Structure 1
Amino acid sequence: MGGPRTLSQVLLLSAFGIAFVSSTVSVTGNTTQENSTSSTPSTVSKESCRGVNLQDPSRSIFAAVDSLVGELSCKRKENASLSEDSFVEVEQNIRRIVESSIKVFLDLGTNESGSDVLEQIGILDNLDVENYKDPSFIRLWFSLKMTFLLPFVNERFLIQLGNKNFSCGSFQELVKSLSEGIEPSQTTRKQQIYRNFILGYLTRKNLEEPGCIENVNGSEDWVEKNLKSFLVFATLQELKTINSNFSTRDVLEKLSPRQKAELILDPESDESGDVDIVREIITSVTKSGNEELLTQFFQDFTQLRKQVLNS
């Protein structure tokens, strides 16, 4: 009973202790209000159950989590005395805090929209300039915090995320985590992430490294680092606008049927007149054995051809 506390107990007490203090302050305020309006206790009771009082405790919990993530990231970089197993245990314990806190917040709160959930929790509040340039912190932040909130991500949040001054390394860590965290079948969600976050960030001119085109070994490496599975949602024109050295030849196998059709029909593309590339594209879609892929290619080709002829 009186023995030393485990690491898990310390983490839970630190996070929920902060939330308890905030909750106590909130309750004290409500009690004062109730005493001053004792003639209408039913009204006060209704006011206190609308979920608005959950915001401060929830933000406190997630602020504590950010502090724990920052400390964990720091100790990892400094090769602290903690063993790898201890690091893994800490990550698992923080993950439990976040998962259970979100569940409690959603169970007790009102049916807010995704935007309100993210704002009330204050998901971006504790990211600062140092974090923006620290890929290891961003990896932990996403793994331990954002993973459980992906269902609530929407256009407004993604635009906000794309406007943060992440270093290319941190941005690439986010793209990797999002690519792994979103199911391939969630095409609408993935397209939303590409349009509002990835494209928004890569087309910004006020970054230290616009387009993240430095420290890459060719177009395939650039795509792998900055687009991952979101490549198929880009147009070839967007890719060339972001990266003037972009080569479709280097990533031909990764292109979607629509992108391949776009390549053949693009009058400004050097590759469109390249017989070898055209032959390679046709061969790749006809010999794939995937009838759905073949149908999609010719549908896209027909649609894009009409657009070219009418332009």
Structure 2
Amino acid sequence: MGVNSTALQLHLDSDTLEGRFCDFAVEEFACASLVALTAQDLAMILKCNRSANSSGSTPIWKLLLSKTSHVLNESLDLLTNMMFDPRNPAASIILDAIGEVRLNSFPDTYVNDPDFINIWFNHRLRPFLPAVSPDFLSCLTTKDFTCNTYQEIVQTLSHVKPNMSIIVQTAVLTRFIKPFLTRNDTADPGCLSGSNSSTEWLMDNVGPFSQYLLLQEILQLNQEFNPLEALSLLTSLQRVQLLLLQLPTLPEQNVIINTLFDHLTASPEEQKKIPEFLALLHEHLEAGFNRNFSCSAYKTLFARLDLALVEVPLNVASFITHNKVKLSALIPTDVLQFIASNQTSVM
């Protein structure tokens, strides 16, 4: 069935479309003559909150944006300060179409220009990025970004992350971040050389999307990564994994436990994370990871829990006391006797 753009064309020719841009389907615009369309007009078309049935397809939007290419950049500039609802099905489709019409047509030298990346990703594309599609992200990994321009994109995606669904957030990680950092055909594979610390590397190259990585995966992306140096960026689960992993690159468990508790008790914000950390630790030990926990580590853990009791708020101290009982059930008998004798001697 063909598309009838007659009614729309009459409004376009008579300049009477004001306030009615969302009344016409994307297909009607794509099939009309759009020579007289202004940047403001195109911006209004892009802003329409269309339903799934009227959101159009990537080929249709690509046709529409190709016909309005002369005002596309200016139109996107007008939308810089807004943020599209990622639930709007048209948002990801429009972004895919812009990628095909604009980004795929730029020479490779442009993607190595931080100013170009900043203009396009931090300004013109930013309103659409909360709805970024897996296909768009996969396409990005084929570009010859330098580490600097790659990091510019990661920072922009990090800023709009709160507006993304969890599905989109994990897609950013699996479709863009991990594929780029594991490429071996770049000048600096893994973007390791430009970072002065593990904290800086994780912030610059993975950003807040690191919350969806296992600690083992972070270490695979950067074999020089020092988890103890970047504790402030690790989730409670990653901290538990750090404690239970048995890797030659990590310090012994006693060192890890002491460093962890130094960090966990250092500030009120970190003290609030102790209950979640202990709950996850108990869950992992109960699931069988206790065979990765040495007798000495149990002793050090309980000693640090006792010290923490006088450093944390009452509600956290109560949780620690409760979890000490639960953890005790998982401790080998000889270690439990040692801890009991130590507590008796202190009393």
TM-score, structure 1 normalization: 0.63
**Are 1:237 and 2:216 matched, yes or no?**
yes
Decide whether aligned partners of structure 1 residues 129 and 117 sit closer, same or farther in structure 2, where only a CA change above 3 A counts: same
Q: What RMSD, in angstroms, separates the aligned Cα atoms of the two structures?
A: 3.7
Tell me what 2:235 maps to. 256
Name the aligned partner's letter for residue 225 of structure 2: F
1:180 shift after superposition: 1.5
Question: Which stretch of the first structure deviates more once superposed, 114-123 or 262-271?
Answer: 114-123
Tell me if the contact between 1:138 and 1:170 (Cα under 8 Å) persists in the aligned partners.
Answer: yes
For residues 147-162 of structure 1, the aligned pairs below 5 Å read: 147-162=126-141
C-alpha separation in 1, matches of 2:278 and 2:103: 43
Query: 1:202, 1:242 within 8 Å by CA — same for their partners in 2?
Result: yes
Match for residue 168 of structure 1?
A: 147
Cα offsets for 1:30-70 (capped at 9, x unmatched): xxxxxxxxxxxxxxxxxxx995765423234457545x7xx
Counterpart amino acid of 1:218? S
1:56 to 54, 63, 68: 63
**Structure-1 residue corresponding to 2:273:** 293
| Structure 1 CA distance for aligned equivalents of residues 67 and 145 of structure 2 | 24
CA offset digits 1:184-243 (Å, max 9, x no partner): 885554333222211121011222221011122132222232122223322222222222
Q: How far 1:170 sits from its partner (Å)?
A: 0.5
Report the residue type matching 1:297 in the other structure. Answer: F
- Quick check: 292-301 or 135-144, which moved more? 292-301
3-state SS of paired residue (2:219)? helix
CA contact (8 A) 2:55 2:90 kept: no
Aligned counterparts of 1:216 and 1:261: Cα–Cα separation in 2: 25
Aligned to 2:296: none
**Unaligned regions of 5+ residues in structure 2, if any?**
1-27, 34-53, 293-347
Cα distance change on mapping 1:55 and 1:185 into 2, 3 Å: closer
Q: 1:298 to 1:217 in 2, by over 3 A?
A: same
Deviation at 1:287, TM superposition (A): 6.0
Q: 1:261 to 1:181 in 2, by over 3 A?
A: same
Which residue of structure 2 lines up, in the alignment, with residue 281 of structure 1? 260
Task: Give the number of equivalent residue pairs.
Answer: 238
- In the alignment, the residues of structure 2 paired with residue 293 and residue 140 of structure 1 have an alpha-carbon distance, to the nearest angstrom, of 38
1:176-255 matches, cutoff 5 A: 176-183=155-162, 187-255=166-234
Distance (whole Å) between structure 2 residues aligned to residue 216 and residue 151 of structure 1? 27
Residues of 1 paired with 2:116 and 2:145: CA distance? 12
Ranges in structure 1 where 5+ consecutive residues have no aligned partner: 1-22, 29-48, 69-92
Q: Note closer, same or farther for the CA distance 1:302–1:164 as it changes in structure 2 (3 Å cut).
A: farther
- Worse overlay, 168-177 or 202-211: 202-211
Q: What are the Cα deviations for residues 149-179 of structure 1, in whole angstroms up to 9, with x where unaligned?
A: 1232122222222232211110000011111
Pick 1 or 2: higher relative contact order, CA cutoff 8 A, min separation 6: 1
